[in-house]
Amino acid sequence: MRWAAREAARRDTTLRILYAYDEHHLAAPVLDAAVVQARAAAPFAIRIEAVAVAGDPVPALLAIEDAALIVLGNRGRGGFASLLLGSVSQRVATYARTPVVVVRGRSGMPGPIVAGVDDSDSAEAVLETAFSAAAGRGAPLAAVRGVSFAAVGASPPAGVPEREREETERLEAQLAPWRDRFPDVDAEAVVSPDGAAAVLVAVSHSARLMIVGSRGHGTVTNALLGSTGMQLLHHAGCPVLIVRGRRVAATLRS
């Protein structure tokens, strides 16, 4: 809730709080408490809408099309919160039509913005969102690509350094137009011989926000939609933002 309130304040937009209930008499006090928490977290006044829906939260969240961002927690006590670490977060993060953030780990802490960048169709949307987030927060950016060499054998072959150099050059080329557009962002290209999920989870523990794509044929995308991607959503050390589409209209401002 605190992360969502601060993000709504950054965007100067309305925060809509959705609570899915089994027992109607609990809805009002839960929503009232959530509104109080949101107002305490925001650096200045924000517009808040509180909405209660009966039953499973997933259909209500997946039906949302007008939101700039859906923000989910990753743990809590009972009801909606107890499901977030499992089926709710997985289904919403995978199938929502809007960008989704799963808030966990180092929420609100300083650190770089980390972008998982592959060669999928969503890469440009990831970079646009990541550079905007870094610029708005005055934070450095690490663009990370995981390249696994497991298929070529247990011992690193002679060609591995050359492959890493080639991948670094490709990543630098992807970053070049965004560096021109955001000259104040200190952006670093990082290529790791580890798999995408492993390296992203590792660097997340010192990051402020991790940004990854959701569609395409690249390593990061395929990981997100499979079991290793769920490792990222469940074990990352910072909030994880999943970008939708090839480009995004809304940016993450300060």
Q: What is the CATH number of the domain that holds 56?
A: 3.40.50.620
Q: Is 170 part of any domain?
A: yes
Q: Max Cα separation, the chain?
A: 67
Residue indicated by tokens 């499901």: 83
Of 217 and 198, which is predicted with more confidence?
198
Give yes or no: residues 236 and 117 share one domain.
Answer: yes
Give yes or no: residues 233 and 163 share one domain.
Answer: yes
Task: Give me the mean pLDDT over the 168-196 stretch.
Answer: 92
Strand stretches in 90-186, DSSP E: 100-102, 113-116, 141-146
Q: Is 165 part of any domain?
A: yes
DSSP 63: T
Give yes or no: residues 208 and 129 share one domain.
Answer: yes
Residue 76 structural domain:
2-102
pLDDT confidence tier of residue 17, bands split at 50, 70 and 90: very high
End-to-end CA distance of the chain: 18
Q: Is the pLDDT of residue 125 over 50?
A: yes
Q: Is the pLDDT of residue 33 over 90?
A: yes
Task: Give me the mean pLDDT over the 117-143 stretch.
Answer: 91
Can you give the pLDDT at residue 163? 79
pLDDT digits (tens, 9 = 90+) for 54-73: 988 899 999 988 899 999 88
Strand 100-102 to 240-242 pairing: antiparallel
> How many domains, in total, are found in the chain?
2
Give yes or no: residues 9 and 50 share one domain.
Answer: yes
Give yes or no: residues 90 and 207 share one domain.
Answer: no
22: helix, strand or coil: coil
Q: Is the pLDDT of residue 84 over 50?
A: no
Of 75 and 197, which is predicted with more confidence?
197
